[in-house]
Amino acid sequence: MRKKKTKKNFNSNQQSFFFEDYLSTNQNFDKQKNNTINDDRVYLLFFSFFSLIFIFSLKIIFISIQNYSLPETEMHINNFAPLRGDIVDRNGILLSRNITAYHAAVKPNLIKDKKKFIVKVKLAFPDVDSKKLVKNLNKKKYFYLKKRLTDSQKEKLWKLGEKGIIFEPFQTRVYPHADLYSHIIGQTDYDNYGISGVENYYDNYLSNKKNFNKPLKLSLDTNLQFLIKQELEDALKIFRAKGAASLLMDAENGEVLSLVSLPDFNINKREDVRNIDYMNKITKGVFELGSIFKTFTIALALEEEIVDANTIINNIQKKISCSVHKISDIKEFPNSMSVEEILIQSSNVGTVKIARKIGEEKYKNFLKELNLLNSPKFELDEIGVPIPFNWNKCKLETVSFGHGITTTPLQAAAAYASLINGGKLILPTLEKNKNNKVKFKRIVSEETSKKIKNILRKVVTDEKGTASLANIYGYNVSGKTGTSQYYDNENKNINTFISFFTVSKKNYIVLVMLDDPKIARDLTYNYRGMKIKGTRNEAGWNTVYSTGKIIEKIGPILAINNKQVPYQHVVKKTN
């Protein structure tokens, strides 16, 4: 019994012992096992983090060396990268550039108080349609509140403090000089394609990304453009004219330095301008320019050696018959005049007698060579086409003094440049340095060119000349006036003065035209040292006056420019 009890106790102890020993052993084993598990977890976490860092590092390196081209990235880049190249003037002054602008859109679900929102918008923008705004807020998930915001409009909307207003970026074309170049630079549409002016003519160049670092450099000079426009605006007021236009061109290479047509318009506003008064009068306008054509008649007669400058033309009557018509002079002239006197004093009858000596065929061919009968070639699509006509009875006679024939002022100015620059046919251009290597065709001899220059100088200096008001000291101003009437109204005139002047041995053509000017009775002229009031509505009393004012303003600038920039020009010397 005792042994059994002892055994039982022993067994009991053994159970206890073994149990205790088992627990102790297992506890040690579990400790070792837990330590192993913890170490494994650390190693696993370390390896995971290291792998992630390694993967991200590789990804960053991969992205940095690869040209990313996902559609989303392309769209993001296109919102900010320029879509069109710059346009600058000859001095690098910016004329046109793409910038980032904004539309104002609305997400109605982000508007907490819609009634308050409507009131705030109406206070900031009274022109907003309230009914339409309410309808959009209630029915649409996203709509445009205002498109093409100005800076002030964007600031107004931003100050409303509404999260529901989204400013959506887009690219737009801006013109820093607003209306100064409205008839030249033109505009682009909302998709950045050129639709008029230089923007349209050079659309392929300006939209080509390869050219974005090479701005399109025009021959225009912003300083000259501004000053000439100022003088033309003064002329509109003084002579109460319907419109005005001017062209300044280098007579040696045809580069247009300034082209102004009034009235003009702000091209930043993108308005639909259909009124014909806003037409580009220099390139698109087709006019009967009157007596400026007498210069072409005399030049051809001299070139053909039919007459000389001092040749006397006899029997110059006040009226001359042509078929059933009578051609007359406005004022009375001597019965006999030299060829140069006929041009200086602007005799219609004297010019007709010279034209008859030339003959129709030669005269017609000469006008064709001067590019006066066809549409001119120029870097604008807004180009006028001279009205065609038949060379029937009396056409030679009327055309010789500028009646019954139309052309654009651009063509007339280029023809004058060709006659006074030594006889080289000029092609007008808006692109700087475009004609530097052009081999110009000769239209008249250098001798004829010299004779014409001398006669046109006397038109300004001679006491019987018609352009003495343009005799600005130091510039050797020369030229010819032209006064013509409207086809449908004899009381309305188109008055023109085409002149040239010299600065630093360079010749410049300047054309000034006034559409329907009136007599400036309150204007006091300094006429050959005398103070007289305006009493006549002729080119010699308005366009000549304005030309003198223009040359006074721009002459010093041209002189400075010529000293700063050496002039190079290549000419083909052919007869």
What was the pLDDT predicted at 15? 39
- Beta pairing class for 94-106 and 506-515: unpaired
What was the pLDDT predicted at 59? 72
Q: How far apart are CA 565 and CA 506, in angstroms?
A: 12
**242 phi-psi bin (left φ>0, alpha ψ -120 to 50, beta other):** alpha
Residue 307 phi/psi, 5° resolution? -140, 170
CA distances from 497 to 377, 488, 527, 541, 547 (A): 23, 22, 17, 10, 8
Q: How far apart are CA 334 and CA 342, in angstroms?
A: 10
Torsion of CA 15, 20, 22, 24, to 10 degrees: -170
Residue 265 CB partners (closer than 8 Å, separation 6+): 179, 182, 271, 273, 278
Q: How far apart are CA 239 and CA 516, in angstroms?
A: 9
**529 phi-psi bin (left φ>0, alpha ψ -120 to 50, beta other):** left
For residue 424, give the DSSP letter: B
Is residue 523 within 8 Å of 534, Cβ to Cβ? yes
Torsion of CA 532, 535, 536, 540, to 10 degrees: 10
Q: How far apart are CA 380 and CA 284, in angstroms?
A: 10
Residue 414 CB partners (closer than 8 Å, separation 6+): 249, 254, 371, 376, 426, 427, 428
What was the pLDDT predicted at 261? 97
What was the pLDDT predicted at 110? 93
What was the pLDDT predicted at 34? 55
Nearest to 346 by CA among 460, 434, 235: 460
What was the pLDDT predicted at 18? 35
For residue 287, give the DSSP letter: B
Which H or E run contains 211?
none
Residue labelled with tokens 């639909």:
272
Per-residue pLDDT of the chain (575 residues; tens, 9 = 90+): 444 444 444 344 433 333 333 344 444 545 555 555 566 676 777 777 777 787 877 777 766 665 444 444 444 445 556 789 999 999 999 999 999 999 999 999 999 999 999 999 999 999 999 899 999 999 999 999 998 888 899 999 999 999 999 999 999 999 999 999 999 999 998 888 999 999 999 999 999 999 999 999 999 999 999 999 999 999 999 999 999 999 999 999 999 999 999 999 999 987 777 788 999 999 999 999 999 999 999 999 999 999 999 999 999 988 998 887 889 998 889 999 999 999 999 999 999 999 999 999 999 999 999 999 998 899 999 999 999 999 988 999 999 999 999 999 999 999 999 999 999 999 999 999 999 888 889 999 999 999 999 999 999 999 999 999 999 999 999 999 999 887 667 778 999 999 999 998 899 999 999 999 999 999 999 888 889 988 889 999 999 999 999 999 999 999 998 875 444 433 343 33
Residue labelled with tokens 């991969």:
62
Q: How far apart are CA 150 and CA 133, in angstroms?
A: 20
Q: What is the longest distance spanned by two Cα atoms in the chain?
A: 179
Residue 154 phi/psi, 5° resolution? -65, -40
